[in-house]
Amino acid sequence: MADTQSKNSGQISCRTPRLADVVSTQIDLEKLPTDNHFPEGELTAWLAVLGGFFSMFGSFGWANAIGVFQDYHETHQLKHLSSSTIGWFASLQLFFMFVSGVFVGRLFDVVGPRYLLNIGALLEGIITLIDAAFIFYATLAAVPTHFHRKRRLAMGLLSSGSSLGSTIVRIMVKKLSQNISYGLTMRACALLILGLLVIVNLTITSNATQRVPKISVQDYTKHFTDIHYVVLVVASMLTFWG
């Protein structure tokens, strides 16, 4: 019996860690769930996924459809400018959306998703894509706190909202701008996104413990020592470049 226990003990100590074990360890260290419990199939968890779907629709979906506005501007208001000059508008908008994540992520750790979603809704239509950054990053941070085993399914459903949003926004802008004024087209889009944001604010919650993190430069640089992370960053950059 003792030999068997010793043998089993040796097998356990030599076992290669599974990805799930690593994720669980990281979650414990970060104290994501308030009581070490993931709601998984509970109503609040799936409501967060529903809200996340609509959040991706109106934030990253809008960002992915930004090319349709360049096509319109090239033949209307800004037709006197070159395509490369007009392209700077979209490029800067996307830049501010992504760079805002540096600050929005820290704010999420302190206040959670509610205030960030409200700020994003208030800024909607005023500071384009910076408003989307608050909604986008708050959603990406909040929804995974409700899941462990089903996290990949939840994030897949959530992410599909951006694809649907991009498709619908492109069609909506193209068709409406041919029949009504550009101003009315933008108001119609704003009304659609406003309705979605109402659902987003009512459904997205976080299962994480809010805390005030210590901020240091190393927090933003240490990951660049990981070759896998660097390759991912470079690949992402090339994706948006193309």
Residue 73 CA to residue 66 CA, distance in Å, equals 11
> Do 177 and 72 contact (CB within 8 A), yes or no?
yes
Helices (H), the chain: 2-14, 19-30, 43-58, 60-64, 67-75, 83-99, 101-111, 113-123, 130-142, 151-179, 182-203, 218-221, 227-241
Name all domains of the chain by residue range, CATH numbers in brackets: 18-217 (1.20.1250.20)
DSSP assignments along 200-211, one per residue: HHHH----BPP-
Neighbours of 241 (CB within 10 A): 6
pLDDT at 242: 64
Tell me the per-residue pLDDT of 74-119, one tens digit each, with 9 for 90 and over: 888 888 999 889 888 888 888 888 888 888 988 898 888 999 999 8
pLDDT at 36: 53
What is the number of alpha carbons within 13 Å of residue 86 lying toward its C-beta?
Answer: 18
Angle, nearest 10°, between helix axes 113-123 and 182-203?
170
In this prediction the pTM is: 0.76
pLDDT at 23: 37
* Token digits of residue 208: 């994480």
Non-local (6+) Cβ contacts of 145 within 8 A are: 32, 33, 38, 206, 207, 208
Segments of the chain with pLDDT less than 50: 1-35
